[in-house]
C-alpha cells in the first residue's frame, strides 16, 4: 500500500513542532485541518475561548491564519466572518507565523 503525504501538511507539522507555550498545554486541543489544498492544523484553547487554524493558503504559498472562538469553526473550517478576517504571512516568514500563534494564545 502507498500512502501519499502532502508536502503542505509536512510544512504545517514543522510549524506545529516549533510552537512553545508558557501555559499548560493539556488544555490545548490540536486537530488536523484539511480543506482542499489547505492542509494544516486547528488549535483550540477552551479555557480562554480561543481557536485558530493555520495552513498554507490554497492559491499561493503564503501561510493563512484564521482566528476566532471555538464556536466560529466547524472541524477547523472557519465561518464566513472569520474567513473574511484571515491573516496572511509570507511563505518563508516562519518565525513571524510562530510568534503570532504563540502570542494569540498567550495573551488574555
**Rounded-to-integer distance, Cα 1 and Cα 104, Å:** 40
- Average pLDDT (1-5) is 62
pLDDT per position as a tens digit, 49-100: 999 999 999 888 899 999 999 999 999 999 999 999 999 999 999 999 999 9
What pTM, to 2 d.p., does this model score?
0.90
Is residue 22 included in any domain, yes or no?
Answer: yes
Question: In angstroms, rounded to a whole number, what is the distance separating the alpha carbons of residues 41 and 76?
Answer: 8
Q: Is residue 69 part of a domain?
A: yes
Q: Does 35 map to a domain?
A: yes
**Domain ranges, residue 32:** 1-79
Look at residue 7 in the predicted model and tell me its pLDDT. Answer: 73
In a domain? residue 97: no
Q: Is residue 8 part of a domain?
A: yes
Q: Is 60 helix (H, G, I), strand (E, B) or coil?
A: coil
Domain count for the chain, please give it: 1
Res. 22 pLDDT band, cuts 50 70 90: confident
Is 90 domain-assigned? no
In 6-89, which ranges are continuous DSSP H helix? Answer: 7-18, 80-84
Residue 67, C-alpha cell as written in the block = 482566528
Task: Report yes or no on 91 lying in a domain.
Answer: no
Q: 56-76: string of b/e by CB count within 10 Å (b at 16+)?
A: bbeeeeebbbbbbeeebbeeb
pLDDT confidence of residue 8: 72
User: Would you say residue 95 lies in a domain?
Assistant: no
Amino acid at each position: 500500500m502507498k500512502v501519499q503525504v502532502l508536502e503542505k501538511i509536512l510544512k504545517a507539522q514543522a510549524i506545529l513542532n516549533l510552537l512553545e507555550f508558557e501555559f499548560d498545554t493539556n488544555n490545548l486541543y490540536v486537530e488536523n485541518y484539511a480543506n482542499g489544498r489547505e492542509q494544516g492544523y486547528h488549535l483550540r484553547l477552551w479555557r480562554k475561548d480561543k481557536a485558530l487554524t493555520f495552513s498554507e493558503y490554497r492559491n499561493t504559498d503564503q501561510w493563512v491564519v484564521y482566528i476566532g472562538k471555538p464556536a466560529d469553526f466547524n472541524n477547523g473550517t472557519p465561518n464566513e466572518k472569520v474567513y473574511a478576517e484571515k491573516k496572511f504571512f509570507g511563505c518563508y516568514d516562519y518565525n513571524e507565523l510562530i510568534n503570532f500563534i504563540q502570542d494569540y494564545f498567550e495573551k488574555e
